[in-house]
Amino acid sequence: MRGPRTLSSPARIASYVIVTIFTLFAAYPILRVRAISLRPGDRLLDKSLAVIPPDATLNTYVRLFLEEPFLRWLGNSIIVSAAVTLFGVALAATAGYGFSRYKFRGRDTAMIGLITTQMFPLTMLLLPLFIVLIKLKAYDSYFALIIAYSATALPFIVWQMKGYYDTIPYSLEEAAAIDGCSQIGIFWRIVLPLAAPALVITALFSFMTAWSEYLVAAVLIQDQNLFTLPLGLKMFQSNMEVSWGLYSAGAVVVSIPVVALFLFLSRWLVSGLTLGSVKG
C-alpha cells in the first residue's frame, strides 16, 4: 500500500516544478548581487543578466577592503554587536531564570510588560531616546547604539530564556540542593550548562539585532567614522551609478557569515518548532 507521503508521478513532477520555481525566486536576488560584485568597474551599468559575468574579476573586493573605509565599518559593527551580545546574554540568562523559577511581587506585571513592548512602534522609544541622548551629549557614540539595541533585543530574549528554563525539570535542582549545592551554585553549575542551546540562540539573536540594524543607526550616528556596516552599505547604494559594484561586494561579504550560520542552525530550527507543536 502507498504511504500517505508518497506522490503519484504527475503530482511528483508538478511538485518538482513548483519547488524549483520558488527556489529560483528565493535564490535569484542573491545570485544577482554576486554577479554584479564580480563585474569589472567599467561594466557596472551593463544590461547583461549573466549569472557569472564573462570577464569576472575580484577587483571590486580589493577596492572595497583597501580603498574604502569598509574595514572601519566592519570594526564598528563588531564592537557594537559584541557588546550587545555580551550584555544581552548575561541579562537574559539571569532574568529568564528568575522569571521561570520564582514567584514574586510584580512578576506577572513584568511578564505582560515584556510582551507589550513587542507592540511598540520603533519611533515610540527612539524619539525620546534620541532627545535624551542629545541632552546627555551621548549622541554619535557606540554607547548610544548599544543602549538602543539592548532595549530592542532584551524583552524577546528574556522571554525566550524563561521559556527554555521552564522545560528543565525542577527535580534536578532539588537533587542538587539535597546534595548541599547552594542556590547560586545550582544556577551556575547545573542549570546554566543545561541551557546552553538556548544561550546560543540568545547570543545569535542579540548579535543579529545589532549586526543588521539600519533605521536606529541612521538616527543615532552621523559621524562617518562611527558608521556601522548597514550605514556604509546604504551610502554606497544611494550613489548607485558609481558604487553599485562596491555595494554588491559589501553585501556579499556581510551576508556570508550570517547566512552560513543561519543555514547551519536551520536543522534545529525545524526540529525545535516541531517539538513545540507536539506539546502544544
Partner 1 sequence: MAVGIGERRDNRLAYVYTMPALMIMALVIVYPFIYNIILSLSNMNLTHFRDWRLIGPGNFWTVLTDTTMNLKLLGIEVPDFWYFFVKTILWTVINVFFHVTIGVFLAIILNKDLKGKTFFRTLLILPWAVPQYITALTWRGMFNSEYGAISIILDRFLGLQVPWLTTEWGAFTACLITNIWLGFPFMMIIALGGLQSIPDELYEAADIDGASWYQKLKNITIPLLKPVMIPAITLGIIWTFNNFNVVWLVSNGGEPSDKTHILVSWVYKVGFTYFRTGYAAAFSMIIFAILLVFSWNFIKRTQATQAVY
Residues 129-148 interacting with partner 1 (rule: CB under 8 A): 129-132, 147-148
With 0-12 / 13-18 / 19 or more C-beta atoms within 10 angstroms meaning exposed / middle / buried, residue 160 is middle
Least gap, CB of 149 to partner 1 (angstroms): 10
Answer for the pair 181, 190: CB distance below 8 angstroms, yes or no: yes
Sole window of 53-61, 63-71, 179-187, 193-201 interacting with partner 1 (rule: CB under 8 A): 179-187
Within 65-104, which residues bind partner 1 (CB under 8 A)?
A: 90-92, 94-95, 97-104
CA 251/CA 230 separation, integer angstroms: 9
**Based on CB atoms, which residue is closest to partner 1, 56 or 151?**
151
CA 235/CA 239 separation, integer angstroms: 7
Least gap, CB of 49 to partner 1 (angstroms): 6
DSSP label at residue 69: T
Query: What is the helix, strand, coil percentage profile of the chain, to 5?
Result: 80, 0, 20
Residue indicated by cell numbers 543588521: 212
Any residues with CB less than 8 A from the CB of 227 and at least 6 apart, and which? 69, 72, 73, 76, 221, 235
Report the residue from 19, 58, 136, 242 that binds partner 1 according to the rule CB under 8 A: 19
**Binding string, residues 30-49; x marks residues near partner 1 by CB under 8 A:** x-xx--x--------xxx-x
**Binding string, residues 183-222; x marks residues near partner 1 by CB under 8 A:** xx--x--------------------x--xxxxx---x---
Least gap, CB of 11 to partner 1 (angstroms): 8
**Based on CB atoms, which residue is closest to partner 1, 23 or 224?**
23
